Each structure stands twice: as C-alpha cells, then as structure tokens.
Amino acid sequence: MSKPPRGLGKGLGALLGDSDLTQIRKPVEYINKTVVTSDEHKGSADIMLIPVDMIEPNPFQPRTTFDTAALEELSESIRTLGLIQPITVRKKASDRYQIISGERRFRASRLAGLTEIPAYIRDTNDQGMLEMAIVENIQRENLDPIEVALSYQRLIEECSLTQEQMASRVGKKRASVTNFLRLLKLPAKVQHDLKVGLLSVGHAKVLLGIEDPEIQEKLCDLTIKEELSVRQLEDKIRKASKPETSGHEEQELPDEYFQVLELVGKYFSKDISLKRSPAGKGTMTIRFDSDQEIQKFLKALNSSNI
C-alpha cells in the first residue's frame, strides 16, 4: 500500500512555493575507471566498471522477491542520476563476477539499460587486505563525501566492524563517522548533488533534520538555485518552521548519544531519532516495522545484551 503524501506544513510550503525548482542533473560518471575484462583483476578498494553480462546474482541471496514498482522507481533514478552507490562483487572465474551486495541496484541498472556498472571487487579470502585497502582509500584527499560514507559503510558491513572500531581504524571521531554514514539516508538526488559538488556536507546536515524526502529534495534545489549558504538555509527553515516548533534550539549531540542510537538502532530496520534541548531534556523516537522487532529488542533487554 502506498503511503499518503505528506504535507509540507504552512511554513515550509510558503518557503518552497509552487515554483519549479527542478535542477537539470547529469548522471554521475566514474571518470578514468577501467572496464574490467577477463584478463584483469583490480584491487578491492577501487571502483571498476564491469559489463553487466559478466555479473551473476548470489545464489545465497536471502531476498527472493523484489518489488516491481520499487525497482522501476530505482531504475528511473539510475537513468537520470547514474548509479551513485556501486555494487560489491567477487571474481568467480576469468570472465564471471558474483554479487556480494547490491543485487537490487544491479537489477535496476540492467532495467535502466546500463551495459556496465561500477563495482568493488572483493577478495573474500583476504579480509585483512580488504580492510587496509579501504582505509587507505578513505585517506585519499580527493574523495567526495558520498565516497567517504560508502567506504565507512563497507568497513562496517564487509569487515564486520562496529562504528567505534571503524572510527579507531580511520583516526576519526565517532560522531564524525556517524554523520558521514547518515548522508547515505538522503534521497538519491541529494546524494548526487553532494557527489558532484553542488551541495556541501554542511547543507546536507541541515537537510537531514527534515524527515520528508520530498521536502529534502525541494530544499536542496532551492539551495542550489539561490546559492544559499548553510546559515542562510538554516535561517530559512527556522523561520518557516517557527510556528510549528517548541522554541527549543537543538544542539550537537555528545558522543554517548550516538552510542545509544547505535546500540538501540541495530534492533530496528527503521531509523531512530534523538533530540536534546540545551537544558539536557529531549525525546527519542523509535520506528518499527513489525512485532518481531519489538520482541527481538525485548529479548535483548531481558538477557542484558544492551
């Protein structure tokens, strides 16, 4: 069942208006990336272009059905913006690659008519080398914010690291790592504009404070069109939302709050949010998809695993 459209609120509706804010976006291109052929095997930290007819699904993929409408929607996004988040594969034979993660992106890319797609090639038998390669990749100075966020995500998912362990590996504060990972929750259009430099990380952090993806996209377009600074974007949103807020100004959360978000969030498929006032009071909102998630969380509480 499709979700009913969410209103913008009187303030934000007035701010965005009915004007056409749509930006003309060029698909993301992976410049100077080599197309992998049967004679080549590249490092697992680099993004390589692989012909789609050399890629096959993972037979151990737990997901057996893919929502057709969602695939069509993602396919249309890929046609417009390109594939922003590469898939991960392993080399199976001289001219065959098997998907480790990203089958939905692979299917949508094929549906969009792509003949080759960006991918990481992982040597599944050498996790230590993979970890070092990704960390080295993160330390490059020319990575865009989305590339950094994807590298962090790979360390967590493919090297089985916690956010705290990963922060130690890359020499960053845990809060900084968490903020980069949150960028991957933004709509594809906003990620695209971050990737190509039309939007800054500071702007993205402001947009993350808005829950509705549609409003995030429109505010992104407004920022680019009017060349708003981060402070100007904050001011516009604050003024537009003032009648609907309690008047408490949110502050940057201390590190221990991010630990709470990580510990509790791993039991739920939806994002959880935590807001804190200057006086130290606040709210934590947990969204869940099923009774099973609540039961899983309760079981962890009862066994003192949290």
Q: Using CA atoms, how far apart are residues 110 and 99, in angstroms rounded to an integer?
A: 14
Q: Are 166 and 155 in contact (CB under 8 A)?
A: yes
Cβ neighbours of residue 280 under 8 Å, at least 6 residues apart?
A: none
Q: Are 259 and 284 in contact (CB under 8 A)?
A: no
- Amino acid residing at 116: E
Q: Are 174 and 167 in contact (CB under 8 A)?
A: yes
Catalytic: which of 29, 56, 103, 234? 103
Residue 295 CB coordination number (10 Å): 11
- Residue 156 DSSP code: H
277: left (phi over 0), alpha (psi -120 to 50) or beta: beta
Q: Are 108 and 82 in contact (CB under 8 A)?
A: no
The three-class DSSP label of residue 229 is coil
Q: Using CA atoms, how far apart are residues 258 and 176, in angstroms rounded to an integer?
A: 10
Catalytic site includes residue 103: yes
> Which residues are tagged catalytic?
103
